[in-house]
Every structure is written in C-alpha cells, then in structure tokens.
Structure 1
C-alpha cells in the first residue's frame, strides 16, 4: 500500500485517484498489445511456458464467461477487445433494440461496445468514452478489426462526457463508475446525455461491508475496482438525486467466486460484490 493524500473520510485525493486509474489502464492496454505481438511471433504456442512475463496483461483479467458473457459473445468479437476487466455483462440487462444509440462509460478496448453494435444493427450507433488515451487508441484499432462502422470512441472523463444533451437511448458501463471520485456527477452526466425515456443499465461493484482504511486510501486498490465502491443505499440516492426513476440495484452473490480471486492477500468478496444497476429517465410528458 502506498501513502497518498486523503480527505476526512480516508479517501484519496481525486486527482491522485484519476492519475492512478489512468496509469493502471494505460499499462493494461500497452501490456495487452505487447502480449498479442509476442504471441503472434511465437507460432509454436509456448509464449508463457518459460515464465518470461509475456502474458502479464492477463494478470488483471477475469474469464469473461465468469462475468456473465456466453461463449458466443466472446467468439462474436475479434481478439483484442475483450480484456476481462469487468464485473458483469451490461449488454445482457440493457435490452438493446434495433436502431438505438448506446453510450458506454469507460469503454476500454471496446468489448461491450462491439457486442452492443451487433444488437442495435446498422441503423443503430454505439459511442464509447474512456479517459485513457492508450485504451482509446486500442479501441479505435479494434473498430477496424471488427468492421464496426457504427461504433465510435472518444477520449474524455465520464464526469464530463463529450456527448450532446439528450442524444442517446441507453447508457451502459462495466465496473467503471466505482473508479470515479465524483459518482453523483457521473450519474448527472448520464442523465443529461439520455433522451427522455432513456435508460441506464450498468454492471458495477457495490460495498457490502466497510473496506479497511489501508485499502480505501491506496491508489492502486481504488484503481483496481476495490476501494471506490459505494453501498446500495448510497447509489440509490445518487441515482434518484440525478433524476432517475424506476431505480433497481440487484447484488449478485455468485460474483463472490471471481471477486475472491482479485487479491492474493485479502478476500475482497467480504467487502464488495458485483451488482446490476438500472434506472430510467422520465418521459418528456411525465
């Protein structure tokens, strides 16, 4: 654990938090590119047999089928977009329809965006926003790999979305909102971007027990989706305050199985669990 400035609640400075998150995911993007290049140059398939660290990019990953994706989902997207960094499958709860416009908060290498693009079809559109330049670059490369002409990636923070008012039908996200130092602002921005009647459907972690202070004040733990989680009650209040109705948050107890593997020294499933988080922007005439 590293020493970092904290506020009265024991949480780290917001700028320090953003820097830790950006650095972590830049490393993951770069390492995954290096691992892919090395794997391609080792045609005999023994890339990781000699312990040379060429597969370090997988150290942060969870098998996507554990997160709720099907084998068909994984096979439907070209290699390189699925980094196994989420804690659920937001596209499974979003009920996407043909022609809809989807916004993915913290889109990473684009896996959920490409799955969403297949759901909304040629008449639909998918926009991913990520604050890590290396991830955005990787995602844009993956657009070509997936021949996804209806997918676009933009560099930006989820607290200040580079998206016009009332232009999207659905907001999705996968284990990213917990990384934000200003979650209420994230939900206000999502609400602003949604058209009347639009919906929010995200997967994230929620806190079930107080996280130890040594973890809560550690930038790496925050960046690893561990220390920044909020309780269900806190999230419900944030969503309601932002204007959402029909708020529903459903913890997934079965997620303890993969969350317990996220840290070698601490069973994180004692403190956090994955959940589906849903809400709706009221209709214009409501």
Structure 2
C-alpha cells in the first residue's frame, strides 16, 4: 500500500476534550453492559468468534478469564511480540485485560504485565478478571496513555490493540512509549490506519472517533510520529483481510472503505 494516502477531510473535528469524553463514555458503557451479561455463554461465543477473525487462536481464547474478552480490537498484538519469559509488558488501553492475560501467560512468573486504561469501569472489570487468572503477574492502573503512570525505562515491550487511534495526541503517546521502554525495548501494536480521506461527517463526529474510525492516521503520518519520538526499525504493515470484520463496525456504511487494520512495530535504540 502506498504511504501517500490522502489525509482526512479538511474539516474541524471534535476537540481533544470531546474525543476523550466520547471514548470514555463508549467504553464505560461496554464495561457495564458486559458485566450485566457476564454469564451469557452466547455472548462469550460471539466475542470469541470476532476475536478469531482478528487472529486469536482457540488456545489463546481458552487461556484467559471468561470476562476478559469483549470482542474489541483489530488484531492480535501478542502474536507480533515474540514474548520471552521474565519480560515486563505494558498494554496501552488494556480494557478488560484480554491481551494482558495472554502476555502474562507468555512471560511467566518471572515476568510482569501492566495494563493502563483511562476508563475506571474497565480497570475495575480487569481487576476482577485478574482474580480468576492463575499467574498473579498482571496489574491494572488507571491512567491516560498520553501520561502513563509508569516509571522511565522499566518496560521491555509496549503492546496495544486498536487504542492509539483513539488518542487526540498520538505523538505524545509514542513519546511516552519511548520514555517507559528500556534501551532496546520494542513496540508491537495492532491498530487501524487510514487508507483514503474520510467524509466530513465521519471526521467531525466524536462517536466515529470512539468507534476507531475518525481518529485513524495514515501510514506515513504514523511512521513520522514514531521516527520523531526516537524509534528505529519502524515497520507498518496493513492487513487487507481485516475488511471482513471492519465492515461490521458500522450498520449504516462500510467503514472498511476508509480504514484497514495494520501491524505497527518499532524499536528503541539500544544505546
């Protein structure tokens, strides 16, 4: 795919405050709704089917607490990560903890996983799910991904699943990821990228931001952000087969005409 894709429509979008409010409200509602139906086996099956389309295996789905998978995301960042025992992993926008628990299974008792989410209801749900996880090596912190509650150079790997696009200040997100990574640390992110200019009504709609559409950036813009933050070996690969599940995100239009899932990888220089 060419990196010179059109930029979003030249229309004033929602303010950062409006974006954060829309995102927080949407995911608060999702957390509350999932809690009210946590014993619904049919709902669990629907979420698992959606996650299979994103690249998760049955073994992965069976290896996490039942309430952790909410069917969200646009890929499987843990599959990119080549996790090793004893590593420290940070998940940006950890939701109910799905990818955190998968990472915790991989890094083992000697490793540690931190999930950060700005939605109190999601953090509460993730902590409840942690009580059903045998590893004991995962924790969840309330915070914004633009201002991570994590110390400098304490993390080996930063993962995220369709969350960076939600941020109104993506360069700051990557700056923060760079700050908390140890030298030689890496980023392995699944997110959506913009493939063509958005219609003005989508670009200006806070709900479309919260639905992982209007906040998407082009590949070239993301490459520039990561480079400016200091990362090297930046690699962004769009996944055309993601149309299968992205077209289901909106009942009124096919949003796969505008965005596609992509893998985003980068490394912090070792010295």
TM-score (norm 1): 0.88
Q: Is the 8 A contact 1:126 1:152 kept in 2?
A: yes
Superposition pairs of residues 131-170 of structure 1, within 5 angstroms? 131-170=118-157
Q: CA deviation at 1:84?
A: 0.9
Distance 1:191 1:264 in 2: 37
Distance 2:23 2:48 in 1: 16
Runs (4+) of structure 1 exceeding 6 A deviation are: 57-62
**Given the alignment of the two structures, is residue 75 of structure 1 paired with residue 77 of structure 2, yes or no?**
no
Match of 2:196 in 1: 209
Q: Is the 8 A contact 2:232 2:269 kept in 1?
A: yes
Change (3 A) 1:61 1:215: farther
Match of 1:178 in 2: 165
Q: CA deviation at 1:35?
A: 1.1
Match of 2:83 in 1: 96
Q: 1:25 aligns with which of 21, 27, 30?
A: 27
Q: Structure 1: 5+ residue runs without aligned partners?
A: 1-7, 40-44, 49-54
**Given the alignment of the two structures, is residue 253 of structure 1 paired with residue 240 of structure 2, yes or no?**
yes
Match of 2:261 in 1: 274
Q: Structure 2: 5+ residue runs without aligned partners?
A: 1-9
Deviation digits for residues 193-237 of structure 1 (CA, Å, limit 9, x no counterpart) = 000000000000000001111011111111010110000000000
Deviation digits for residues 219-273 of structure 1 (CA, Å, limit 9, x no counterpart) = 1111010110000000000000000000000000000111111111111111000
| Structure of greater Rg | 1
Change (3 A) 1:198 1:65: same
**Given the alignment of the two structures, is residue 200 of structure 1 paired with residue 202 of structure 2, yes or no?**
no
Q: CA deviation at 1:10?
A: 2.0
RMSD, aligned CA: 1.9
Q: Is the 8 A contact 1:32 1:58 kept in 2?
A: no
TM-score (norm 2): 0.93
Higher relative contact order (CA 8 A, sep 6+): 2
2:192 partner SS: strand
Match of 2:13 in 1: 11
Deviation digits for residues 74-122 of structure 1 (CA, Å, limit 9, x no counterpart) = 0111200000110000000011101000000000000000000011010
